[in-house]
Structure 1
Amino acid sequence: MLLLVDLDNTLVDRTSAFACWATNFVRSLGRPHSDAAWLITADRDGYEPRGSLALAIKQRFRMDRGIEALVDTLLFEHVELMTMDPRTRIALREAREAGWRIGIVTNGATAQQTQKIEHLGIEPYVDCVVISEAVGMKKPDAGIFRLAAQEWGCDLTDGWMVGDHPIADISGGRAARLKTGWVSRGQEWPNDVPPPTLTRRTAAEVIDALIRIDARNARRRRQG
């Protein structure tokens, strides 16, 4: 069985790490806390292009720092603040022990996403990592999911895509003929988007559910 998993806000807590960094960054500039709230909102949970966010920061805070330096700051300074729920590590390990092939499919800069994976020691839990910048396509393009499946010659119709973003992860996974598991993080599913195959609050809960579903289906096959 193929299990493709998103990285940011699925396997790792990107939102909290960026919020912590933004608070510290604004404080270092002697700015009020309201500016940290502005920065967190402007980031759009990582979906605002780094160049445009860097320009907005430079203009709002009247900084002398160049755009390229600010982009590097945005890409890398929050990485060391990122965490991974121990239950997610357990779920990944149990999925591999149950025979799942696991791949990370993530949008983002290759150097940044690689640094996150290395910082949190995720490599032992996955078989493959596909990063959008490295392959020249990004979610929700179905091609990036097909590329990940080709790593092992897996059939996408037998696979799952697990992630937190309704469009990039769930609609993209569905377009690639994958079943989909939404990591809701306590949010409501948008009414204008077709729903996922299943929903749980955390990545660990989604992966645990998939393991149980696969085990149940295997028992039914054995029983004829």
Structure 2
Amino acid sequence: MPLLLLDLDDTLLDRAGPFRAWGERFLAGIGAQAADIDWLLAIDADGRSDRWDVADAIRERYGLLISSLDLVEELHDAVLTQSRLDPLVACALRIADDAGWVPVVVTNGIVRQEDARIRRTGLNSYLADWVISEEAGFGKPDPRIFALAARRVRMPLHGAWVVGDCPETDIGGAAAVGLPSVWLHRGRTWTDPRLAPTRTVDGVIAAVAAVLAA
């Protein structure tokens, strides 16, 4: 029964879609140019930027009087309330489980937000456990967070696979701990010459198929 270590944002749960939708509504609400969505997405960096830094950048660019705290809360809630579990993703996780794999989420983020998203969407029903960087005290690509995930379900890391969309944290993390990986390309081309994923696919369903085939 090997481990299947899965990223959360834009792997199991869509984050890019809800964040973009919120950004477009927010920018329209303050009278900003529609094209500014590209700036906002760049500042957000697929959620890898600190929320406080994003909030401060928005306030400074548009001279907003809203407090950073309120804007950070809005950024959190925008993704939380709009997150949905794709039934096909749930089916893929069930197939992996039936095949003897143990799915565990390993994600960088804030416990309050990520735990709420996992439970609110019902994703928890398809997981053996999940590890969030804030709670762990370290995050991907640090090998310790993958080792912690294995300990949480009392399983060895040997034989595990890592699945995710981020070259640095997911694929880089897999390489750091010596595990094979599946990269969800999301329309991008791999550019890092230092390492490469074991497999490249377009979504979770194809990722699970690749792992089972291997």
**Structure 2 length normalisation: TM-score?**
0.94
Do structure 1's residue 39 and structure 2's residue 40 form an aligned pair? yes
Opposite residue 5 of structure 1, the aligned amino acid is L
Tell me which moved more, 162-171 or 186-195: 186-195
What SS does structure 2 have at the residue aligned with 1:96? Answer: helix
**For 1:84 and 1:40, how far apart are their aligned partners in 2?**
22
Kindly, what percent of the aligned residue pairs are identical?
A: 36
Say how many residue pairs are matched: 213
TM-superposed CA distance for 1:83, in Å, is: 3.3
Alpha-carbon shift at residue 82 of structure 1 (Å): 2.5
Q: State the TM-score, normalized to the length of structure 1.
A: 0.90
Return 146-155 or 35-44, whichever deviates more.
Answer: 35-44
Corresponding residue number in structure 2 for 1:59: 60
Partners of 1:23 and 1:33 within 8 A in 2: yes
What letter is aligned with 1:135? Answer: A
Amino acid at match of 1:132: S
Give the secondary structure class of the aligned counterpart of 2:158.
Answer: helix
Q: Distance in 2 between matches of 1:151 and 1:52?
A: 32
Deviation at 1:99, TM superposition (A): 1.3
- TM-superposed CA distance for 1:30, in Å, is 2.3
- Provide, for residues 126-177 of structure 1, a one-character-per-residue CA deviation record: whole Å limited to 9, x for no partner: 0001000011100000000000011233221210110011110011112112
How far is 1:40 from its partner?
1.7
Shift of 1:114: 1.3
Aligned pairs for 1:139-218 within 5 A: 139-213=140-214
1:59-78 correspondence runs (5 A):
59-78=60-79
Superposed displacement of residue 7, structure 1: 0.2
Shift of 1:31: 2.1
Structure number, greater radius of gyration: 1
Q: Which residue of 1 aligns with 2:96?
A: 95
- Map 1:4-15; keep pairs closer than 5 Å: 4-15=5-16
Conserved 8 A contact 1:160-1:181: yes
Residue 222 of structure 1: aligned partner: none
Cα RMSD (Å): 1.3
* Contact 1:17 1:83 (8 Å CA) reproduced: no
Q: Distance in 2 between matches of 1:167 and 1:131?
A: 17
d(CA) in 2 for partners of 1:197, 1:37: 31
